[in-house]
Structure 1
């Protein structure tokens, strides 16, 4: 039993853990140390803020099924003194498209998603054209569309709602950077902060997001999680696309509605994806050379596009397999890691918060078993193969 828990990082993962800890056991002392309470550079605030069940591994699907349940009930779950937070959840669905080369994988994934209870419809070329007449389907074999349980929301609003609820339950937030973690053998005894204070802990949680590697190094742990920049573009177009979902092209380029405009992006090629690129720069070349041509091909009306705004945020990118690392490390018996979500942190945050709180309080998972995401696979070099990485 941990009476004092220090959480490094107060984004969606850290704040979800803080909320679940205090909601589950009000006697636990929870301190969250967050370097930037404005969240200006946090992945939680800078992402495309979406949720899907269209993964290829059972656990990712189950985590997001719980995530959508949590988001749907957020007004009541995270109510504070009569104020019910709203995150503008729009269940517009994901639409994963496949050419003939990806058709078998799409169908295999769809069968698993349906088996686990996800509301996904598989569509052939004719059905795609009928439902989305603005879509160029000539080179497509199939598509998978989320009828419900998938869509997008206000990511910054979710972080703030979790933070405020955790605080209302007694979690303490410290606006500082963690500059050191003091180890005594196989335990971390204190977190040292930039405000000059030392915070004693029975358990420490690394929820530092894109800065997880720095926090891990303070304990002598090498974690395969790096800050990878992703640029997002807000574009306007005279196109009016009825029933527009969040569309994932076979190339990996995505777009979705954002009010009367659209946001879009893609991941750079593996040979052009260095670590720690500055967030105050945007990869305009990827828009001109990859995103715009792809959008214009897939949606002919997107020939006319105008960039209205753009920004960059970090993926906390797990280079082993782009899946989260959750759990204790064998070398540090009282540190729980919750890192490397690789763009899935917002949607997997509620399930992670619940699971990590169970691990700390009960010593095991009592709802959804997250043990396959443990350090064991990392240390043994056994990647979890996720076919639907975006």
Structure 2
């Protein structure tokens, strides 16, 4: 008898799980319930859509190494009837910059990344100036640059390609809002939606992104994941920056090319980062007070900037340690969580989809071991310390 899997959330995480499940075992019944099939407010569609291996924890590096492998081969992997999707992958690299205060950490992270096979170069101040002559390096000592395997892509295109391929493989996508999870002891037996439909399940996966805490509460679980607003600004400038990567200033402000313009942003300060802020209220003060002055300092040509467009999206923010929570909770034996990616969901989606499918089909991980991301660390208050938080 085939298993029935219900996935709550059809963004990149949910669609990736559905794809890998049906690809690995066509006998498994997969139903994905997505509250908004237009993805108008989804993190997947509203993010800056980028990928890097420049993390400080081995598992994050490994997940993104598989992520870039998946993105490079997306045409072949997600082809449908001869039509190959494109996500406009541009491997322009990340450039993490360091002042003297961050130099040791940059070197340590670089050694880890190289050991795991990431193609990252460590550049001293002179090398930075030679390679990026438009960069103000006065207060810098070094930078780490992704020569390949890092860059940006069409996040909405990735979600659509995964969704369509999962459907072509037999996954069913339902447009509905989940209102209840029915439990029998430690087992979730049914998922109920606002239209009164009830879906029986052998497994239920919480992949609801910024709304995952609400879904967890329906199963009686306290999930430390909250919706945190992040504003992105699309700016035009007369600046002509040759070989411009996705640059991370030591302050946390970032920018990257977007066609003939640039997109930029940063995280607000911890004391100004409440939960569930409305997405239609972009934080313009953050741009005026923090982002623009930082950009003008780091790239003098950016003194002349004009905001062309702006929007906000949600991080599904894990307040414990800003890393994903993947796996079972001891109180619910058939509910798998895939939440709290804190801005890394698009790049970690392929590895998560593969891993969760392995948990369901084999009872454990058979490729990359994601066990360190389990719910146990939350219950035991064992945060994973990631030094390269962006």
- Give TM-score, length-normalised by structure 1: 1.00
Give the equivalent residue in structure 2 for 1:302. 302
- 1:60-90 superposed Cα distances (whole Å, 9 cap, x missing partner): 0000000000000000000011110000000
Alignment-derived partner of residue 285 in structure 2: 285
Q: Which residue pairs with 1:193 in the alignment?
A: 193
Q: Distance in 2 between matches of 1:84 and 1:98?
A: 40
Q: Per-residue deviation at 1:138? A: 0.3
Structure 2: distance between partners of 1:124 and 1:168: 49
- The aligned counterpart of 1:106 is 106
1:83 correspondence with 2:83: yes
Aligned to 1:360: 360
CA distance in 2, matches of 1:134, 1:118: 26
Single out whichever of 187-196 and 291-300 deviates more from structure 2. Answer: 187-196
- Residue 267 (structure 2) aligns with: 267
Residue by residue over 1:92-117, the C-alpha shift from the partner in whole angstroms, topping out at 9 and shown as x without a partner, is 00000000000000000000000000
Q: 1:241, 1:7 → 2: CA distance?
A: 43
Deviation string, structure 1 residues 210-249 (Cα, Å, up to 9, x no partner): 0010000001100000000000000000000000000000
- Give distance in 2, aligned partners of 1:374 and 1:219: 17
Structure 2, unaligned runs of 5 or more: none
CA separation in 2, counterparts of 1:376 and 1:200? Answer: 27
Give the Cα–Cα distance (whole angstroms) in 2 for the partners of residues 377 and 98 of structure 1.
Answer: 31
1:96 matched residue in structure 2: 96
Distance in 1 of aligned mates of 2:322 and 2:245: 24
> How many residue pairs get matched?
390
1:164 corresponds to 2:160: no
Structure 1 residue 24, shift from structure 2 partner: 0.2
Counterpart contact for 2:134–2:241, Cα < 8 Å? yes
CA distance, structure 1, for counterparts of residue 12 and residue 95 of structure 2: 25
Q: For residue 347 of structure 2, what is the aligned residue in structure 1?
A: 347
Give the aligned partner of residue 177 of structure 1.
177
1:195 Cα deviation after fit: 2.1
Cα offset for 1:327? 0.1
2:24 matched to 1:24? yes
CA distance in 2, matches of 1:344, 1:123: 25
Partners of 2:177 and 2:59 in 1: how far apart?
32
Give the match's secondary structure for 1:307.
Answer: strand
Contact map agreement 1:128 1:137 (CA 8 A) in 2 = yes
Q: Is the 8 A contact 1:2 1:202 kept in 2?
A: no
Contact 2:9 2:34 in 1 (8 A): yes
Pairwise CA distance, 1:194: 1.5
Shift of 1:380: 0.2
Q: Distance in 1 between matches of 2:216 and 2:364?
A: 22
Report the alpha carbon displacement of residue 2 of structure 1 after superposing the two structures with TM. Answer: 6.3
Instruction: Measure, in 2, the Cα distance between the counterparts of 1:73 and 1:374.
Output: 29
TM (norm. structure 2) is 1.00
The 2-side partners of 1:2 and 1:63 are apart by: 29
The CA distance in 1 between the partners of 2:202 and 2:263, in whole Å, is: 43
Q: 1:207: Cα distance to partner?
A: 0.1
Map Cα deviations across residues 328-351 of structure 1 (whole Å, 9 max, x no partner): 000000000000000000000000
Superimposed CA distance per residue, residues 142-197 of structure 1 (whole angstroms, 9 cap, x where no aligned partner):
00000000000000000000000000000000000101000010000000012210
1:1-390, aligned counterparts within 5 Å?
3-390=3-390
Unmatched 5+ stretches in structure 1: none
Tell me, in whole angstroms, the C-alpha distance in 2 between the residues paired with 1:71 and 1:30: 23
Distance 2:48 2:195 in 1: 33
C-alpha distance after superposition, 1:262-303 (max 9, x if no partner): 000000000100000001110000000000000000000000
Alpha-carbon RMSD across the aligned residues, in angstroms, is 0.6
User: Are the aligned partners of 2:2 and 2:27 in contact in 1 as well (CA < 8 Å)?
Assistant: no
Mapped partners of 1:82, 1:174: distance in 2: 26
SS at match of 2:213: helix
Superposition deviation, residue 256 in structure 1: 0.1
Preserved contact between residue 5 and residue 203 of structure 1 (Cα < 8 Å) = yes
